[in-house]
Amino acid sequence: MKRMKAKIAYDGSGFAGYQIQPEARTVQQELMAVLQNIHKGEVIQVIASGRTDAKVHATGQVIHFDTPLSIPVSGWLKALNVLLPEDIRVLEIAEAEPGFHARYHTIGKTYRYKWDRSPIISPFTRHQMVHTKQRPDVGKMREAAAAFIGTHDFSSFCAANTGVVDKVRTIRRLDFEEHGEELHMVIEGSGFLYNMVRIIAGTLMEVGLGRREAAELREIIRSADRGAAGKTAAAHGLYLEHVEYEN
Amino acid sequence: MKRMKAKIAYDGSGFAGYQIQPEARTVQQELMAVLQNIHKGEVIQVIASGRTDAKVHATGQVIHFDTPLSIPVSGWLKALNVLLPEDIRVLEIAEAEPGFHARYHTIGKTYRYKWDRSPIISPFTRHQMVHTKQRPDVGKMREAAAAFIGTHDFSSFCAANTGVVDKVRTIRRLDFEEHGEELHMVIEGSGFLYNMVRIIAGTLMEVGLGRREAAELREIIRSADRGAAGKTAAAHGLYLEHVEYEN
């Protein structure tokens, strides 16, 4: 038995999210269907670094699966990309180190959130960026972002009805990048609570649009109250970009 | 009665082409439905610079329509973009010069054809660029492109079963642009025959991939034989970028 580790990308537009569920198209279901096909009917479990919600994209999701087959790496890459639908691509695949686990061994993740600041939303990227009609003050967003860096209880930035008890996480980087009319928030941390990146993005955009002060952020974090933070930004602006593992 | 002229963009992925037809979603049908709504049930004819085929995109299609309404230009822009589906956007709108006709008064058009040269096709642009696995020799494509410049009978580069008699057209510009892994062909001319840009793109790509010699192109044009040219490149790489009018 070999454990294979793969880096995959997907356009979240056509999926009800990563995780398999009845009567919905999911990334996991498509991956498992193709692996079952390759394994002549045998069900092959696929483990990802974590779930992504409906409409959320990935450019660097990591998965693993176990296989009895001896196929060279280039063969795996080719077979999977031929059999998978075009909105999922396998970017890299390799035999994993012994004991590797895509979910349990993550030590960090990087997400990217994309806004389109064009006066008129582009019809070509409408499922891949969130349009902001009013032009945000990026300087203020950067100023407010500083409050997140470090280790904090992120209860204010977590969907209210989650079962997770320990809400302490570490944010190592939170940058804003401007690429023409695109505005990207890049956030790297030890791990993220449910909806955490989207609530951070939504709250920082409210600062950018002058609806909140940058100075409020530290108090919002301290309050440990979801009601104190801003709205959850839309799913289709979010990309899981990188998953980090110990090596 | 006022004649309004508008520049529009659309993602061709969700359309059976520009021109209205029964039981298919078309750009013209969406535009006319919205204008009928604005005009309280009155049918408003929409005239475009020309049709585009199913899956073909536009970043600068031009249309006109006549209206009895007195709405300021900013009101038109807002109303149309609120009512139209997000895969069609009105980029600019203005009152047209007297006698302006979006179709009859064109004196030139610019099209762009996009290929994606990434080793693995991006799941995000799969409907907006054509993937080429093998890396083309762009220098050879540029060399071959020179044969098209000027005024020629383009019978070799026209879908065989067209009703058009005069197949003489003038190509003023044919450039290749490289943007990272994207390869664009930009072609500007007096007008184009049915499928002409896609047959030129397909033939030049065959040169790029070493399946034809650049030197063959002059003879292919001279032969006035559709069978002598290459394959019609896929529709989803093509963009109508600009329509030129006398001013």
pLDDT, tens only, A3-42: 999 999 999 999 999 999 999 999 999 999 999 999 999 9
pLDDT at A9: 98
Question: Three-state DSSP class for A156?
Answer: helix
> Residue B99, exposed/middle/buried by CB under 10 A (0-12, 13-18, 19+)?
exposed
What does the alpha-carbon distance between residue B225 and residue B103 come to, in Å, rounded to a whole number? 28
What is the β-pairing status of strands A238-245 and B2-10?
unpaired
% chain B with pLDDT above 90: 95
Cα separations in angstroms, B113 against B10, B83, B188? 15, 29, 12
DSSP-based three-state secondary structure for A126: coil
Partner B contacted by A25 (CB < 8 A) = no
Among candidates B86, B90, B121 on the partner chain, residue whose Cβ is nearest the Cβ of A126: B86
**A128·B126 Cβ contact <8 A:** no
Positions of A annotated as catalytic residues are: 53
**pLDDT score of A76:** 98
Q: What is the mean pLDDT of chain B?
A: 96
CA distance A65 to A47: 6
CB contact under 8 A, A122 and B87: no
Neighbour tally for A70: CB within 10 Å: 7
Position B98 scores a pLDDT of 83
Which residues of chain A does B114 touch, with a Cβ-Cβ cutoff of 8 Å?
Answer: none
Q: Cβ-count burial of B25 within 10 angstroms (0-12 exposed, 13-18 middle, 19+ buried)?
A: middle
Partners of A3 in beta bridges = A66
Tell me: is residue A245 an annotated ligand-binding position. no
pLDDT at A197: 98
Average pLDDT over residues A63-79: 96
Asked if B120 and A90 come within 8 Å (Cβ–Cβ), the reply is yes
- CA torsion A161-A162-A166-A168 (nearest 10°) is -80
- Kindly list the distances between the CA atom of residue A26 and the CA atoms of A13, A18, A54, A65, in Å, as whole numbers in the listed order: 11, 5, 8, 17
Residues A140-193: tens digit of each pLDDT: 999 999 999 999 999 999 987 777 789 999 999 999 999 999 999 999 999 999
C-beta atoms of A126 and B81 within 8 A:
no
Instruction: Tell me which amino acid residue B8 is.
Output: I
Structural domain boundaries in chain A: 2-95, 106-245
Chain A contact present for B10, CB below 8 A = yes
Tell me what percent of the residues of chain A surpass a pLDDT of 70: 100
- Closest Cβ opposite residue A123 in set B10, B122, B124: B10
**Is 90 exceeded by the pLDDT of residue A105?**
yes
At what angle are helices A27-38 and A73-83 packed, to 10 degrees?
120
Residue B162 tokens, joined: 């067209």
- Cβ pair B122:A89 closer than 8 A: yes
Q: How confident is the model at residue A136 (pLDDT cuts 50, 70, 90)?
A: very high
Sign of the alpha-carbon dihedral angle for B192, B197, B199, B204: positive
Choose among B10, B57, B123: nearest Cβ to A89.
B123
The predicted structure's pLDDT at residue B226: 94
Q: How far is CA A130 from CA A13, A111, B61, in A?
A: 13, 15, 24
The residues, ordered by sequence, that sit 6+ positions from B209 with a Cβ below 8 Å of its Cβ are B132, B134, B136, B137
Q: Residue A163's pLDDT is what?
A: 76
Instruction: Give me the amino acid identity at A111.
Output: Y
Please state the rounded mean pLDDT for residues B122-137. Answer: 96
Q: pLDDT tens-digit profile of B176-235?
A: 999 999 999 999 999 999 999 999 999 999 999 999 999 999 999 999 999 999 999 999
Partnered with residue B187 across adjacent β-strands are B111, B174
In the block, tokens 């972002």 appear at A145
A79 contacts in chain B (CB < 8 Å) = none
What number is the ipTM of this complex? 0.89
So what's the pLDDT on residue A167? Answer: 94
Pick the CATH number of B2-95 from 3.90.79.10, 3.30.70.580, 1.25.40.10, 3.40.50.12780: 3.30.70.580
What pLDDT is recorded for position A226?
94
Tell me the C-alpha distance between A178 and A124, whole Å.
Answer: 19
Amino acid at A42: E
How confident is the prediction for chain A on average, in pLDDT? 96
Alpha helices in A70-194 (DSSP H): 73-83, 138-145
> Is residue B163 over pLDDT 80?
no
Name the helix (H) or strand (E) containing B43. none
pLDDT number for residue A162? 72
> Residue B107's pLDDT band (boundaries 50, 70, 90)?
very high
Residue type for B214, please?
A: A
Identify the band that residue A210 occupies on the pLDDT scale cut at 50, 70 and 90.
Answer: very high
What mean pLDDT is predicted for residues B15-25? 96
Residue type, A124: F
B87 contacts in chain A (CB < 8 Å): 123, 126
**What is the dotted CATH code of the domain comprising A106-245?**
3.30.70.660
CA distance B64 to chain A (A): 20
Residue with tokens 């600062």: A207
Give contacts of A 71-110 with B, CB under 8 A: 81, 86-91
Return the SS3 of A184. strand
Q: What is the mean pLDDT of residues A47-63?
A: 97
Give the pLDDT band (50/70/90) at residue A199.
very high
A120: chain B residues, CB-CB within 8 Å: 81, 89-91
Query: How far is Cα A31 from Cα A62, in angstroms, rounded to an integer?
Result: 12
H or E segment at B139? helix B138-145
> Which residues in chain A have their CB less than 8 angstroms from residue B11's CB?
123-124, 126
**Residue of B81, B124, B131 for testing the chain A interface, max A β-carbons within 10 Å:** B124
Q: How is residue A214 written in tokens? A: 């940058």
**To 5 degrees, how large is the angle CA B52–CA B55–CA B59?**
60
pLDDT attached to residue B80: 98
Task: Evaluate if residue A98 carries a pLDDT over 90.
Answer: no
Touching B: A residues 112-151, CB under 8 Å: 120-124, 126, 128
Q: How far is A133 from chain B (nearest CA, A)?
A: 12
Phi first, then psi, for residue A35 (nearest 5°) are -65, -35
pLDDT surpasses 80 at B244: yes
- Rounded to the nearest angstrom, the minimum Cα separation between A65 and chain B is 21
Chain B: nearest CA to A113, how far in angstroms? 15
pLDDT band at residue B165 under the 50/70/90 scheme: confident
Token pair in block for residue B119: 């080793």
- CA A60, A64, A69 angle in degrees (round to 5)? 130
Q: Would you give the DSSP letter of residue A155? A: G
B83 C-beta neighbours (distance < 10 Å), count = 13
Mean local confidence (pLDDT), B44-69: 97
Catalytic residue annotation of B: 53
How far is A123 from chain B, CA to nearest CA, in Å?
A: 5
